[in-house]
Amino acid sequence: MPPLTWLITGTSSGLGLALAEELLSRGENVIATARSASSRLASLQSAGATILDLDITASETELFAKIQTSIKMYGGIDVLVNNAGTFEWGLIEETRNEEWVRHFETNVLGAIKLTRAILPHFRRRKSGKVVFVGSENGWRGSAGTGAYSVSKFALEGFVETLQRETSHLGIQSIIFEPGEFRTSVLSSSAKESQLVGDPDYGEFVESIQAGLKESDGKQKGDPKKGVKIMVDVVKGEGVALGRTMPKRMPLGKGCLETVRRKCLETLEVCEEWEQVIESTDFDEVETK
């Protein structure tokens, strides 16, 4: 298979950086993006990536222009990876409105704008793949992660709708849902933490902070293994050879357990409350 051209957001660290490195090792064409790309992505550029300065929170007009610039670099884009994101700890009551907005602008609206910008290109080619990096938090709302969790739930809804609207055009979409992977996200987000805690939340906040300290740097997820599987799944090779690309895919044992538990809990509610739930429909009127 000839190399694919990948446009990836948020490649300065974490899974985005690991993904770019994995793709380069496989001989793929990589357009790596980040803010202040020339300084933050120098190592990727040296490794063979084409770099592009891109702020995911920029205006729709600017992001649409960035997509056109990217297309011209290799004569087309095969895969868009919406990876850029932000994460900050904070209890719902204490998270300021501007922080809710920032999470949505970065984690949801940025991905939406870039996806909308590239769809005409994919429609003309009758092919293309849009990859989203979601989170285990798109399945469960974790205490202290309100703004982040809500944004990831929203992203799940967008991806599912996108799949229904574009699959007949030859466009495939998938959202990967990583659990806890060993990146700098916990330590970096803790610096901006709003877990100050009203006395009513005191013990609760202390338990979250203790868990954060205990988990940081000890997450079970290996970023290199995670991105290798992501590439296999998108390309349909390696562990994905002969398998159909799923619409969503958890990554990590912890996330798999969360997904299974959520599905079972939902089914239990449906079974216990089935008659009550169905009773809200209009009564059927027999017609002769």
Active site residues: 148
The token pair that represents 122 in the structure block: 């994919």
- How many whole angstroms separate alpha carbon 181 and alpha carbon 199? 32
Question: What DSSP assignment string belongs to 93-109?
Answer: GGS-HHHHHHHHIIIII
Contact of 251 with 229, CB cutoff 8 Å: yes
The token pair that represents 96 in the structure block: 């300021």
Q: In what order do the strands lie in the sheet with 5-8?
A: 50-53, 29-34, 5-8, 79-82, 128-133, 171-178, 248-251
The token pair that represents 5 in the structure block: 């051209």
Query: C-alpha distances in angstroms, 216 versus 142, 211, 221, 282?
Result: 16, 9, 12, 53
Contact of 142 with 212, CB cutoff 8 Å: no
The token pair that represents 271 in the structure block: 């079974």
In the beta sheet, which residues pair with residue 53? 34
The number of residues making up the chain comes to: 288
